[in-house]
Chains A and B, each alone.
Chain A
Amino acid sequence: MDQSFESDPGVQLMLAYKRGDEGAFDRIVEQYSGQVFSLLTRFLGPKPGREDLVQDVFLRVVRARDRYEPTARFSTWIYRIVFNLAVNETQRQVGKEVSGHDGGASGDDEAGDALLNWRDDKVEDPSERMAHDDVVLAVRAAIARLPEQQRMALVLAKYHEMPYLEIAAVLGSSEKAVKSLVHRARENLRVTLAPYLQGEIA
């Protein structure tokens, strides 16, 4: 076992679960389901079925129980699962759209348009109410239009405060590549959000 990850609480819980402590898995779900849901929402947008995807993520954790080895922080490990699942979901969705529309707009564009048209009338939470702000919707749509790797790198760096080295582990890439991905994502967002950025400066 890599000694540097021994102190990670998530790794300790997963190892306890591997040894047969069922309660450890309950604590894993309690502690990480929110982060998994947030990451999925930021990556895929507020599409329905996110809770099912959260279940799929933890289902993979259950199935990986016996062969789990702590080669990274637990959050890194589970985010990698989330990324693979989210990419699969995106590609599945794109395949469905392509077969349905016989070409046309890309999946990312579809996701962005869906975000722009998205409204939830049953929102009660203040943060969700804030999501109705046009600027917020525009930002989310711009993020949704980013290529998958750029999007995940940006979301992890910006919203999950993850170091580039760990993002590289999630994406199966190098630290330099992640720096480049984040930089390109930000440049793309600057172009897409230029009107809103001028408002911010004023």
Chain B
Amino acid sequence: MKLDCLAFRTLLENQLVGRPDPSSLSALSWHEHLFGCGDCRRLFEGEEALEALLATWPEPRLSPEVKRRVLMALAKSKRFETSLDALLERDVEYTAPKDLAARVLAGLEMDRGAIGARSKQSASAKTPVNAGVSGTFDPLDRLLERAGDVTVPRDLARHVLAALATERAPARRPILAWRRSTWLAAAAAIFVLALVVWLAQQRPETPVEPIVENVPTTNAPQMDGLAPRKIPLAPQVVSNAPDVQMLAALDVLENWDLLMSSDDVDALLSTLGTADEVLLDYQDEG
């Protein structure tokens, strides 16, 4: 109530000093404070009457003399004295905290860009490091502090640890984890090795032969005392150079008379085709 009186009279004083207009006072006539405070109502009515009186003057203007009188009237009011005491009490209520210097230093340090652990250490444990910006006496801070309490559940840490026991289990046995990865690597290596061996077995071992087309073979005629020989007949050589095996066969053919009778030669010649004749011509030209 005391503070309300102070607030109201400050408001009244501002109206009287700042805007000497009687209509401005009428705005205050319905102020809720006046309904509960007889002293202020009487003061207001007195000032309102004075203002009305002053309004009758040709040039309604609050002269320095009137201003002094009003202020003196306010100063003589007992309630005003009480309110002043209340104001002083309020001032005592907001005595600067012991760690104000630390807070100011912390705030200045931040503004100079030197924040961090150093500024935090320089302030007390409960000192907000950012107090320099937020304002220690800000009513908003007082509201926020009222709403800041959080009750941490009992045994929270124990519950968390119990819940994480399974997740931490692999981490507790790093050697097992290492072995598992090693096994995987070994299995992969074995698989790759087996694949390489298998591929090597699949590769053909016979040497590459010259490219020939339609190489018919025929059994040589049965000769006395000699095993039948498989003689390649008139291969069509794709490459320009004649094959070594083919030339060896031709050598044998050149000496047919040494190996066979004339009847055998005739029989053999009857088995030759056009391709064989081409080959023999090639031999003759060589």
B144 pairs with A139, CB closer than 8 A: yes
Contacts of B142 in A (CB 8 A): 200
Q: Once the chains bind, are A135 and B143 in contact (CB under 8 Å)?
A: yes
- Which residues of B have CB within 8 Å of A139? 143-144, 146-147
For B117, the chain A residues whose CB sits under 8 A away are: 4, 73, 163
> Across the interface, do A196 and B143 meet the contact criterion of CB distance under 8 Å?
yes
In this assembly, does A131 line the interface, its C-beta being within 8 Å of a C-beta of chain B?
yes
| B263 interface hit (Cβ, 8 Å) | no
List A contacts of B161 (CB < 8 A). 26, 29
| B174 touches A (CB below 8 Å) | yes
Judged by a CB distance under 8 angstroms, whether B15 is at the interface is no
User: Do residues A30 and B157 form an inter-chain contact, with CB atoms below 8 A?
Assistant: yes
Q: Which of A1-59 contact B (CB under 8 A)?
A: 4, 20, 22, 25-26, 29-30, 33-34, 37-38, 41-42, 51, 54-55, 58-59
Q: Which of B115, B146, B156 contacts A51 (CB 8 A)?
A: B156
CB-CB under 8 A from B150, the residues of chain A are 37-38, 41-42, 127
Interface contact A183-B143, CB-CB below 8 Å: no
Structural contact, B157 and A33, CB atoms closer than 8 A:
yes
Most chain A beta-carbon contacts within 10 A, residue among B113, B117, B130, B152 = B130
A197 within 8 A of B: yes
Q: How large is the interface on A (under 10, 10 to 19, 20 to 34, 35 or more residues)?
A: 35 or more
Set B119, B139, B157: member contacting A200, Cβ < 8 A: B139
B110 engages A163 (CB within 8 Å): yes
Q: Which residue of A lies closest to B126 (CB)?
A: A161
Q: Is A98 an interface residue (CB 8 A)?
A: no
Q: Is the CB of A159 within 8 A of B148?
A: yes
- The answer on a CB contact under 8 Å between B115 and A55 is no
B143 contact from A25, A157, A197, Cβ within 8 A: A197
What are the residues of chain A within 8 A of B157 when measuring CB–CB?
A: 26, 29-30, 33-34
A158 touching B148 by the CB < 8 A rule? yes
- Contact residues on B (Cβ < 8 Å of other chain), bracket: 35 or more
B151 at the interface (CB under 8 A from A): yes
Which residues of B lie under 8 Å from residue A55 when comparing CB positions?
Answer: 159-160, 163-164
Task: Give the contacts of B118-161 with A (CB-CB under 8 A).
Answer: 119-120, 127-130, 133-134, 139-144, 146-153, 156-157, 159-161
User: Could you say which of A4, A162, A166, A193 contacts B140, with CB atoms under 8 Å apart?
Assistant: A193
Within 8 A of B (CB), among A131-160: 131, 133, 135-136, 139-140, 143, 157-159
**B139 neighbours in A (Cβ, 8 Å):** 197, 200-201
Q: Are B143's CB and A200's CB within 8 A?
A: yes
**A125 proximal to B (CB < 8 A):** yes
Residue of A nearest to B153 (CB): A51
| A73 (CB) vs chain B CBs: closest residue | B117
Determine whether A184 belongs to the interface, using a CB cutoff of 8 Å to chain B. Answer: no
Bound-complex Cα distance A136 to B134 (A): 19
Q: Which of B1-38 contact A (CB under 8 A)?
A: 3-4, 7
In the complex where A59-B164, A165-B115, A202-B4 touch, is A197 in contact with B140 (Cβ < 8 A)?
yes
A133 to B143, CA, bound (A): 12
Does chain A have a CB within 8 A of B171? yes
- A37 near B153: Cβ-Cβ < 8 Å: yes
Chain A, residue nearest B138 (CB): A186
Q: Which of A29, A38, A158 contacts B141 (CB 8 A)?
A: A158
Does B168 count as interface, using CB distance less than 8 angstroms?
yes
Cα A133 to Cα B151 in complex, Å, equals 15
Closest approach, in angstroms, between the C-beta of A174 and any C-beta of chain B? Answer: 12
Q: How many Å from the CB of B10 to the closest CB on chain A?
A: 13
B120 to A: closest C-beta gap in Å = 6
Query: Once the chains bind, are B129 and A158 in contact (CB under 8 Å)?
Result: no
Nearest-CB distance from B157 to chain A (Å)? 4
Closest residue of A by beta carbon distance from B147: A139
Note all chain A residues with C-beta closer than 8 A to B113.
175
Residue of B116, B146, B156, B164 touching A135 (CB-CB under 8 A) = B146
Give a binary string over A168-202; 1 marks a CB under 8 Å from any B CB, 0 the rest: 00000001000100110010011001001100111
In the complex, besides A127-B150, A163-B119, 15 extra interface pairs with C-beta distance below 8 angstroms are A42-B148, A42-B150, A55-B163, A55-B164, A58-B164, A59-B164, A128-B149, A136-B147, A143-B147, A158-B148, A175-B113, A189-B144, A197-B143, A200-B143, A202-B4
The 10 closest A-B pairs by CB, nearest first: A139-B147, A200-B139, A127-B149, A38-B150, A34-B152, A30-B157, A163-B115, A157-B130, A33-B157, A136-B147
B residues adjacent to A (C-beta < 8 A): 3-4, 7, 110, 113, 115-117, 119-120, 127-130, 133-134, 139-144, 146-153, 156-157, 159-161, 163-164, 167-168, 171-172, 174
